[in-house]
């Protein structure tokens, strides 16, 4: 069994029941899964739609798209996959010749598959080259980004996107290492500048910060939030699942602004979080927060 097939067999999407309820699916509706990943949420959505219902799936990761195609083969007439990012929604709508959809789902988390793959560089627990790109067909790798930035720029990224208070000390240690080619190189540089206590949390925060910078995750989310409403039908729903406070804060504030401008109903006064049972079954779901709105 290949790594991908094994992942497909054991992958469970996060907070499926809550997501489906918030999407308030229409049998013949058209939906966008802007971060389709392994297709877990989309499979559940399609299972609830009539043969006239459709899902347009996007992902920047080609391996994820291959995985979702395998999972969704039984719905191939109802699914349209695109190697693209959710912030390019205008192009996707044009390609599919549609003006509005009934719901959009964004799961902003890093998938278990991406973390577990040996050659992607997302995890400090795997020894691989420091890549960290979702889309390996374009852009600079994490290693190239680290080598290009000066110490202050790197410290700012670690502080802003990782909320790491030792950012300056860590950036100094990383830049002193001269070349960061593997995840072990990067982890060692971080370890040299941080105390042993809660070190894994520090490693996770720094890796997160660099990954966010490499993929332009915050910029893409802001672009999407600025434009998505015009592509939602009336009473259409947007459901966003985030995994760290930076993204959740951006989503919360944007939803509040749309409510103030009388453009949407906010369906989640506070974000929904996974049940204790789900966290026990899937530890990686523990930081998930789900927010949703409905277009007026």
Same domain (yes/no): 106, 65: yes
Are residues 163 and 260 located together in one domain of the fold? Answer: no
pLDDT digits (tens, 9 = 90+) for 12-56: 789 999 999 999 999 999 999 999 988 999 999 999 999 999 999
> Which of 5-14, 75-84, 184-193, 207-216 is the least confident region?
5-14
288 close to 241: Cβ distance less than 8 angstroms = yes
Same domain as 101, residue 225: yes
In this structure, the answer to whether residues 210 and 243 fall within a common structural domain is no
Hey, what are 288's tokens? 């998930």
Single residue among 216, 241, 276 that ends a domain in this structure: 216
Let me know whether 229 and 107 are in one domain: yes
Residues 166 and 197 occupy one common structural domain: yes
- pLDDT number for residue 11: 63
More confident: 90 or 112? 90
pLDDT at residue 239 above 70? Answer: yes
Is 7 in the same domain as 109? yes
pLDDT single digits (tens) 95-140: 999 999 999 999 998 766 676 667 788 889 888 999 999 999 999 9
- Mark which of 183, 216, 249 sits at the end of a domain: 216
Residue 180 structural domain: 118-216
> Do residues 97 and 53 both lie within one domain?
yes
**What CA–CA distance (Å, rounded) separates 278 from 14?**
8
What pLDDT sits at residue 112?
A: 62
Q: According to the model, what pLDDT value does residue 7 have?
A: 47
Verify that 149 and 173 share a domain, yes or no. Answer: yes
Instruction: Check whether residue 108 and residue 14 sit in a common domain.
Output: yes
How many domains would you assign to the chain? 2
Same domain (yes/no): 209, 223: no
Same-domain status, 105 and 236:
yes
CATH number of the domain that residue 51 is part of: 3.40.50.150
Question: What is the pLDDT, as a whole number, of residue 201?
Answer: 93
Single out the residue of 241, 232, 293, 244 nearest to residue 264, CA to CA. 293
Last residue of a domain, one of 216, 238, 270: 216
pLDDT at 9 over 80: no
Burial 75-103 (b: 16+ CB within 10 A, else e): beebbbbbebbbbbbeebbeeeeeeebbb
In this predicted structure, what is the pLDDT of residue 110? 77
Q: Please give the structure tokens belonging to residue 113.
A: 């598959």
The predicted pLDDT at position 64 comes to 87
Q: What pLDDT score does 1 carry? A: 35
CATH number at residue 155: 1.10.150.170
| Predicted local confidence at residue 109, as pLDDT | 80
């Amino acid at each position: 069994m290949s790594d991908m097939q094994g992942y497909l067999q054991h992958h469970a999407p996060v907070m499926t029941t809550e997501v489906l309820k918030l999407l308030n699916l229409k049998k013949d509706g058209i939906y966008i899964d802007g971060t389709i990943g392994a297709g877990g949420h989309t499979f559940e959505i399609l299972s609830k739609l009539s043969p006239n219902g459709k899902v347009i799936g996007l992902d920047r990761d080609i391996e994820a798209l291959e995985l979702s195609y395998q999972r969704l083969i039984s719905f191939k007439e109802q699914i349209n996959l695109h190697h693209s990012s959710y912030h390019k929604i205008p192009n996707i709508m044009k390609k599919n010749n549609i003006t509005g959809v009934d719901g959009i789902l964004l799961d902003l988390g890093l998938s278990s598959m991406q973390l577990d793959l040996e050659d992607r560089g997302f995890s400090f627990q795997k020894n691989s080259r420091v890549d960290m790109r979702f889309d390996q067909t374009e852009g600079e790798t994490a290693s190239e980004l680290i080598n290009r930035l000066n110490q202050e720029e790197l410290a700012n990224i670690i502080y802003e996107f990782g909320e790491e208070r030792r950012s300056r000390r860590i950036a100094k240690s990383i830049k002193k290492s001269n070349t960061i080619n593997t995840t072990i190189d990067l982890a060692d540089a971080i370890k040299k500048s941080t105390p042993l206590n809660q070190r894994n949390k520090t490693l996770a925060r720094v890796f997160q910060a660099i990954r966010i910078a490499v993929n332009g995750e915050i910029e893409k989310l802001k672009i999407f939030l600025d434009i998505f409403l015009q592509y939602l039908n009336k009473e259409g729903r947007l459901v966003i699942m985030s995994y760290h406070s930076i993204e959740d804060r951006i989503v919360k504030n944007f939803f509040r602004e749309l409510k103030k401008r009388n453009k949407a109903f906010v369906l989640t006064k506070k974000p929904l979080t996974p049940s204790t049972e789900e966290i026990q079954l899937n530890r990686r779901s523990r930081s998930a927060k789900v927010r949703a709105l409905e277009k007026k």
